[in-house]
Each structure stands twice: as C-alpha cells, then as structure tokens.
Chains A and B, each alone.
Chain A
C-alpha cells in the first residue's frame, strides 16, 4: 500500500455525540425503509447503507455547509447528513410531489440544490465527471469550495473513473474522491474484478495523495477527510480516500447474497460502526446508557415524523407529466413545455 493515512487519534469532544446521533438517524431511517419496502410503500430499487454509516457521517462532518456533494444510488445517508429533511427523502421514495426530487427520482436519485446535494446517480462512475465539472467551476472562479464525490470500489473498473482522476489531478481541482470500498460491486468481490486490489496504488498513479482509511471508524474518516479538504480547499488539488467499509445488508432488496458467506457478514457485524463510536463515547464519559437510549428514541421519532410527512404527501397531477424535461418557458411554448 502506498500511502496509509494514520490520522492522529483524536481526543473525543462532547460535540462528537452528534456523529452518533447522525449515524443512528441514518440507521433507523433505513431500517424503516426496508419495512416500508416489504409493505410495498416504497418500490423500484432500494439500496441500503446499513453498516457503512461512518463513511457518510464522517465525511459529512468534515465538510462545510457550502461544499458540494455528488453521491451514488446508495445515498439516503449522504442526503440526510447534508441536511436534506428526512421527510423530503421519505416522500421522494413514496413518489410524492413533496419529495426532494418531486417524486421523479426515487431512492436512487435524491437531489437538493439548496443543500448543494447533486444526486443520487444510478450509473456507476457516472457522477464522477459531473463532480469534476462542479469542482472545475470553483477552480476557475477561485471559490474556496470542495466537491466531495462518493462512489463504490466497483467504479474503479470504469473508464469514467480513470478519465476523471486524470483530469482532476491535471487541472488541480478541489475535489475529494470518496471511494466507499465495501468489497463487493453488487455481487462481484474486489479480488474478482481488480488486477490490483490496492486501490490507492491506482489512485496514486494519477499524481494525487491516496489514503486508505478505516471506514468503520467515524473519527478516522472525519479526520482524514478534514486533512484532504484542507489541501483541496487551499488549491492543492484532489485527494483520493479509500474508505474501507462493509455493507451489512443485501445489495438491494432483490439480492439473495449467494456471493458471500454468513460468517463473513457476521465478522463484519462485530465491527458495527455505531456500536464502535458509542463504546468510545461511553469510555470517554461523554455518553451513558440513558443518553444513548434518548438519542435512539429521537432518531426513531424523526423517522416516524418523516413517514407521517410522506404519508400525507400528494401525487403530482398527471398534467405535469412532461414538466421539467426542459425549463418552464411559460408563454413561449405553451403549457406542456414539450419539445418533440
């Protein structure tokens, strides 16, 4: 391995309880999503992030409000962490007009420009070039903003990954390549898809720092991201972060998990990132059992409220079916805005 970040073990601060709160919210939100999927309230594809929460929460904690995020189709957690209201995310999965993409996107395509959250991309590696462009615009205008782009390790096999890595380094854009390495591209193990399974070697060959980070440790993720963001924001160019994590649940709701053993999953579950940070906070006397219970109850309550909001949502009228294909140009093209 070329470069392994061993972030200074941070002393926990009282404010770090917030990390746990966010991880619990993401976990409880997604557990409810799975139930709602079984109840046919949510349809389409549903990809759960359970087990990987330390990545979205850790990276999110290191970003500033004005930074950009581009994510994948496994992005409920990233949206919640960036502040997209849980109700708007749930309503999106219910296909309601109150959803953060007006019910046009569903689980895989959450968007919120107000939160600088630019999707929700369903094509593996397809979000990378877009993130490059967002970062390029900031570079050209001298805006000290960072664009964090999440993608799975499966994307490393795509040409768009390599093209984007090369251009990001060549143009020294302020971009963070956040590789969520959960070891499986759907059902294909890393060793069965990559000639060299050390992803930092490939990344470093593009002339950018490439660090491997324990993605089950939210503090390690946050500290590495802080370091990376500092460099990118200061004009030092992009950084590649390999965030080593594991997906506890199936790839999607249709996955019988034939490609990995229950024992393997059980071993990783021992390293549950929520338990891990809860233990550390407890050890540092920043959390006790009552406080943990209260946090969990608050997360459940927020999820309940999100479901209630989505339940009360409305269907977009069919007359709006072809809206938003083009910008509305009222008076110029008639009500349907169709250009056929």
Chain B
C-alpha cells in the first residue's frame, strides 16, 4: 500500500501510458510548460518533450477535433480540457463528431480518444468554472463517461480508457486532486461497473466523483444513530451499471441519489427513473435526490456551500426515506 494523491495518481497513469505506447500523447491548454492548470502533468514535458506533451492555444474546438482526427489516424491522444465549462466550446466536436462518426459511417470510423477535464464546485470559482455537467455528457450515446472518486480509479481508469476503441471522457472533480489515499495493489474493477464502497442494510446512497466522500461521512454519522447505509460509487455515468444499483435496492428497499449537477434533467433523475422502472415493487419509500440548487454557482462561500450537496443534506434525505413506513 502506497499513499498518494489523486493528482499524482493521474500523472503516474499518464506517464505509464506514454511509456507503454508511443502512440499516446497529451494535448491541451498549459499541459506543458505550465505543468497543467491543476499540475496534473507537471514534469511530463521534461520527460517526453513538446511533441507528446503538446501545449495548445485556447482553441477548444480545434484541439479536441484534432484529437479526434489523430485518433482516427491511429494515434491515442489524451486531450485535457481545463474545466467542464470550457468543454462547451468543443461540444460540436464531442457530440457531432467523436460520439457520432462511428455510427454515421456505418462502423468504419472509430475514435479511440480520451478526453479528461475537471468538474465540480466548492472552490469559490463562481458560475463559469464550477459546474458539474458530466450528467449532460452521460446523455450522449457513442461515448463512455467516467467519474473517478478514489486514488485507485484516478490511477487505474486511464489505461482501460485508452484501450477502448471509442471515445472516453473522464471527469475529475477538482477538489479530489489533493485528496490522499492508499493505492491498492492489483487492478481496479472494470470501468463500467459501479462499486459498493460501504455495505449497509437500511438504505442505498447512490453517488459518484466529488460527492462520494460526503456520502461516506454521512453514512458514518447515520451509523451512529443505528441507520446502516450502503454507499454505491457509480464510477461510470454511461454506461450506468443498473445491475449493481438494483441489487442493492432489492436489499435495502430505499434509495437516495446524490449528484452535484442541477436536479432537473440530471443524471440523478436517470438513476431514480431506472430504480423506479425496474425496482418499483422493491421500494418502501420514494427515491429522493440531493442535488445542486438550481442556480449558477455563486462566489460567496456561504451561498456556494448552501447550493452544493452537503453531508447534512444527505443525512436529512436518508432520514426522510428511512422514516417512511412501508
């Protein structure tokens, strides 16, 4: 067991991929000389040079599209977008090309591209650097959407993403980069599987990414009051691992979904709908959701804190579903 941070884990994953396969290169804004906006790629320019640690101008659409073209041509690009809000400038390329070309060409044009970007709030960066739009991306067929929450997943998801013949988007919650953890020996579970991070009998809390830690703290607090919560880390928003969710709900009969995205039309709505569609008769209470308040994230700390899911709101939601008498 080695202690590391999510930032170092991702850096080591990139380094390992570049050493193992000379088709792999990293491209994005300030990934080279600056060392990465979040210092993920720090030091890699010295090791691999400017051709493979490729700084780009502020041209999200062109460099994401260039990643698509290079992937079609047989390379294995990793494109870094600084934040999910900036990815909207490249949405044409991600949706109309990366996700679409294989199908529209009748299976001929595969796009084995990995796009990494930060997501999430909690840093007082206000309404153009803090949103959680990974749920939107989960709407799109043709791509895979990964949301690592642990050092193991930050370390282990990149290699299978690069091995995938289709586009994979990895959303890294910015608050997790400094999070420390023990790196497990051995490989991670398949990237399209949700994982039970804490077993429990009374209620299923479904979450991912930056909200996992909050849910685990909430579960500990609930345990002190005799409520035994199971916590599921989705790890992938597309595909969604229905089997793991439904198996848990069949045992606990209650579910709360926690998601930093806005509630309306969110990934938590999708999770809730699937539980309702497939496990309606297992449920003893309505599925509840804890989401971001429906507001562009404000700067002031007390307002931002109030907008984002918190341990307290998770605990309150669990209390509510547990108190429904079947």
Contact = CB atoms under 8 A, between A and B. Distances in A.
A186 interface: no
A113 B141 contact: no
Interface stretch (B107-115, B123-131, B281-289): B107-115
Contacts of B141: 325, 339-340
Given A160-B61, A327-B166, A140 B25 contact: yes
A224 to B, nearest CB: 24
A207 interface: no
A57 B146 CA distance: 45
B134 to A, nearest CB: 15
**Chain A CB within 10 A, most for which of B59, B103, B106, B110:** B106
A48 B309 CA distance: 54
A187 interface: no
Interface string A297-336: 0000000000000000000000000011111100000000
A134 B57 contact: no
A126 B104 contact: no
B239 A101 contact: no
Interface residues of A, number: 47
Contacts of B238: 339-340
Given A104-B105, A126-B97, A140-B25, A339 B65 contact: no
A113 B97 CA distance: 16
B61 to A, nearest CB: 5
B135 to A, nearest CB: 14
**Chain A CB within 10 A, most for which of B72, B74, B107, B110:** B107
B162 interface: no
A133 B166 contact: no
Nearest to B141: A325
Contacts of A100: 106
Given A101-B105, A102-B107, A123-B92, A339 B69 contact: no
B101 interface: yes
A163 interface: yes
A99 B107 CA distance: 12
B319 to A, nearest CB: 32
Contacts of B96: 122-123, 126
A133 B70 contact: yes
Interface stretch (A164-172, A208-216, A225-233, A277-285): A164-172
A105 interface: yes
B102 interface: yes
Interface string A221-260: 0000000000000000000000000000000000000000
A339 B140 CA distance: 10
A104 B315 CA distance: 48
Contact of B73 (A138, A166, A170): A138
A119 interface: yes
A126 B66 contact: no
B69 A126 contact: no
A338 B166 CA distance: 13
A166 B57 CA distance: 9
Interface of A: 99-105, 109, 111-113, 118-123, 126, 128-138, 140-141, 159-160, 163-164, 166-167, 170, 323-328, 338-340
Interface of B: 25, 51, 56-57, 59, 61-75, 77, 92-93, 96-97, 101-110, 141-142, 144, 165-166, 192, 238-240
